[in-house]
Amino acid sequence: MRPEQQYIDLYAQAEALLRTYSAAPLNNLRARAFADFERLGFPTRRQEAYKYTDIAKCFEPDYGMNFKRLTFPVNPYEVFKCDVPNMSTSLYFMVNDAFHATEKTLSDGIIIGSFRDYTDLVSKYLGTLADTAQDSITAFNTAFAQDGLLIYVPKNVVVEKPIQLINILRSDVPLLVNRRVLIVLEDGAQARLLVCDHAMDEVNFLATQVIEVFAGRNAMFDLYELEETHTGTTRLSNLYVRQEAGSNVLLNGMTLTCGTTRNTTRVLLAGEQAELNLCGMAIADKNQHVDNRTVIDHSVPSCRSNELYKYVLDEQATGAFAGLILVRPGAQHTDARQTSRNLCATREARMFTQPQLEIYADDVKCSHGATVGQLDEAALFYMRQRGIPLHEARLLLMFAFVNEVVDTIRLDALKDRLHHLVEKRFRGELGKCRTCKMMCR
């Protein structure tokens, strides 16, 4: 039986429930998305884009799905509050794939809320970037998702406080969740968003996620994603971004703890003078697996992109990175740079990296580079000669290696916090956030 057949059968049995308990904008896309998923099926490792991650295997376990939107017994404000010292944020929660209702009132027309409450606005944008005909994970998510989070910032409005979204995975049995996020910044708007993924229970989770970001003319947007779950969690995330003229976007995805993670990021630079900074960092050990695939599409002249990804792999961990910079005909004066640097701390760790350039314009500045290496033996020897124990010397070298990605963060308090978390991660410490009742694994 085809691995996707169980979900095709499930959809046929549960379609009425899906529609009854779903937000209207998602119902409008559901039939077409399911037809695309049925046609595409799960990608296989024979496809170049999925060569290093077995997607079908991720869906093999018997997961439950919460079609009736039953409330899970958790109050996120009591159970979890991941606080960043010295940084005041506007705090929101998603429990599994449901937005947790809040009483907060925002000024200046800013909207942060469920798809259910803003159907007209959501319908205008939802699905226009995330094409279900081209990607089966996006098609699967769109076919089964039932709600989502909308963040909307009107024209020329600056959101002073960073927005913090905590995604909590909570269940007593293995669970499959389908998260959806829509972010719209009108012309001249500015916002910063920190998304933290955590798993509250030790059961297996599979999370599919689709995020669509629209950055209007001269808009400025930062998106920081921090994954800190556990080895029984699988995350399949697709991020789609469209930038208009003069916009400035920073995307920084950091994987500290996971089971299997596959992130796909597609950015369309659609207006001249748009600027993108795309960064990523992964720290993995045991048998953890992290796969990042990026596509930066320079479709118009005079845009800039700077991409930097770093991995540190220990024990039997595996990592993969594939990054494509596409410069379309007529996109003159493009300035695009891509760097992939990777550190294997053991001989058993494996890293696969594939930087790519496709250039169809002749007046551009483009470069890419990739390295895979081990810890510098000369540096280790030098540090040990000065009395630093071997274990401590290894930690210092790995910490210094990833600092370049952390330093791209444009919030000083968050940058300091990440330095602290990265150090704790390398030391293998399981601690608690200052005001957190749940273990940060």
The pLDDT tens digits for 143-154 are 999 999 999 999
Closest CA to 209 of 241, 248, 180, 173: 180
User: Where would I find the beta strands (DSSP E) of 229-274?
Assistant: 233-243, 248-257, 260-269
Which three-class secondary structure state does DSSP give residue 155? Answer: coil
What is the distance between the terminal CA atoms of the chain, rounded to a whole angstrom? 37
Q: What is the DSSP letter of 101?
A: P
What are the tokens at 264?
């796909």
Q: CA angle, 369 as apex, 363 and 373 as ends, to 5°?
A: 175
Q: How confident is the model at residue 430 (pLDDT cuts 50, 70, 90)?
A: very low
| Contact (Cβ atoms closer than 8 angstroms) between residue 243 and residue 276 | yes
pLDDT at 441 over 80: no
Give the lowest-confidence range in 50-64, 329-343, 421-435: 421-435
pLDDT at residue 102 is higher than 70: no
Q: Residue 429 to residues 3, 209, 425: CA-CA distances in angstroms?
A: 38, 28, 6
Express each pLDDT in 118-131 by its tens digit.
Answer: 999 999 999 999 99
pLDDT band at 81 (very low <50, low <70, confident <90, very high): low
As a whole number of angstroms, the distance between CA 113 and CA 134 comes to 28
Q: What's the token pair of residue 218?
A: 């001269």
Q: Answer with the residue of higher pLDDT: 252 or 200.
A: 252
**pLDDT confidence of 433, banded at 50, 70, 90?**
very low
**Measured distance CA(127)–CA(155) in Å, rounded:** 22
Q: What is the mean pLDDT of residues 100-120?
A: 84
Q: What is the dihedral of CA 35, 116, 66, 210, to 10 degrees?
A: 60
Nearest to 82 by CA among 436, 419, 415: 436
At position 135, the amino acid (one-letter code) is D
pLDDT of residue 43: 92
